[in-house]
Amino acid sequence: MEKLVNLLTIMSLSMALLVPLRGQCEAARAAAAAATSCHAGGKAGKQKQQPQVEGMFVFGSSLVDNGNNNFLNGSGVRADYLPYGVDFPLGPSGRFSNGRNVIDALGELLGLPGLVPPFADPRTRRARAALLRGVNFASGGSGILDHTGQVTGEVVSLRQQITNFESVTLPDLRAQLRGPAAAANHGRVKDQGSFHQCYLSKCLFVIGTGGNDYLLNYFNPRRNNGTEGGPPLSEFTTSLITKLSDHLQRLYGLGARKFVIFSIQPTGCTPVVRAFLNITGAACIEPVNDAVALFNSELRRLVEGGARPRMPAARFAYINSYKIIRDMLDHPAKLGVRETSRACCEMSRSSSGVLCKKQGPVCRDRTEYVFFDGLHPTDAVNARIARKGYGSSSPDHAYPINVKKLAML
């Protein structure tokens, strides 16, 4: 009898603690929904599905950048001109594609009410309510290493992207959800735990980076601080994974719990790499692919359990962009594409064959091409990566779970 009384006492105390927390969570969700209802993008009057996550925060390189580099005066990696955006409703927006990038397509599948805004756009902070549905911090040309991309001009490193989230966006989010008291106390409010549990833990933190660390560092003829040579591939890759793990742990410490991590694409099959080595036909540069495949295998191992000791409550969805794109390259007719080796747009010589020529011509049917420029996929390929990452039951595409299941946790 005494044990029963103790049990009932514990249960009543637990309920007393959980009921206020549940109320706070419901209030936070209501605030987020109300705040974003007036800022949603898309067509007026169109019924949209209920968002499956509270928000999506994006970090990485040009494959996921949606316009941050537009606001970097010294950047040599920009996509704010035609033919970029030729099929995008907003036209040239800084996305390195003819239409959507993979973040846009994933956001649609998750039911987000509008496009995730770029951090560097001054309008993003002014529309503070829209922050609750996410912010994109990615910067074209950046990588895992702090100095990656500096040869292209001004970039925002992954470390600085996370700092921008920590020092600017997090306080804004707290202020939006908690009211003036949170801003006055710099986020150190009494119910900070509920902010993490009710909001941040329900958001997705998306990371797409690493390819530039190989293209602009490891395979750069003059790497290792401007001198010939450098560490062997295995050592370089281990260093990248260690640094990426440190960045993930930093986000975890800030409250992130659900991570979507994209692999590096088959870089050795991109038009810019093939052109650099004067490869004709459909052949890929397999030594380059082997290097990024090594990184991808180590990244999957990190997701598999390597990050667990320091991030015990974290949950991951690893999206195998390499496999998804490689399947399209190897089986084009089956998967609805025709051109697997050439870029859809005419290349700019000043960008070393990576970016499209300003106002240059483009292919007529973009859906038949894998690559829009020398490095970046077309809208059709980005949509396929997003669909597979979101809903595929195959561990070859999404591991250990897909994004839809991750969102439901």
Which residues are annotated as catalytic?
A: 62, 373, 376
Give CA–CA dist 236/125, Å, rounded: 38
Of the candidates 328, 315, 289, the one whose C-alpha atom is nearest the C-alpha of residue 399 is: 315
DSSP state of 57: E
Token duo for residue 405: 């299941």
Give CA–CA dist 359/230, Å, rounded: 39
Give CA–CA dist 284/288, Å, rounded: 9
Of the candidates 187, 118, 25, 101, the one whose C-alpha atom is nearest the C-alpha of residue 380 is: 101
Token duo for residue 276: 């650099």
Token duo for residue 147: 């100095």
Task: Tell me if residue 68 falls in helix, strand or coil.
Answer: helix
Of the candidates 139, 193, 200, 168, the one whose C-alpha atom is nearest the C-alpha of residue 17 is: 193
Residue 55 contacts residue 132 (beta carbons within 8 Å): yes
Instruction: Phi first, then psi: give them for residue 345, nearest 5 degrees.
Output: -100, 165
Of the candidates 200, 170, 216, the one whose C-alpha atom is nearest the C-alpha of residue 62 is: 216
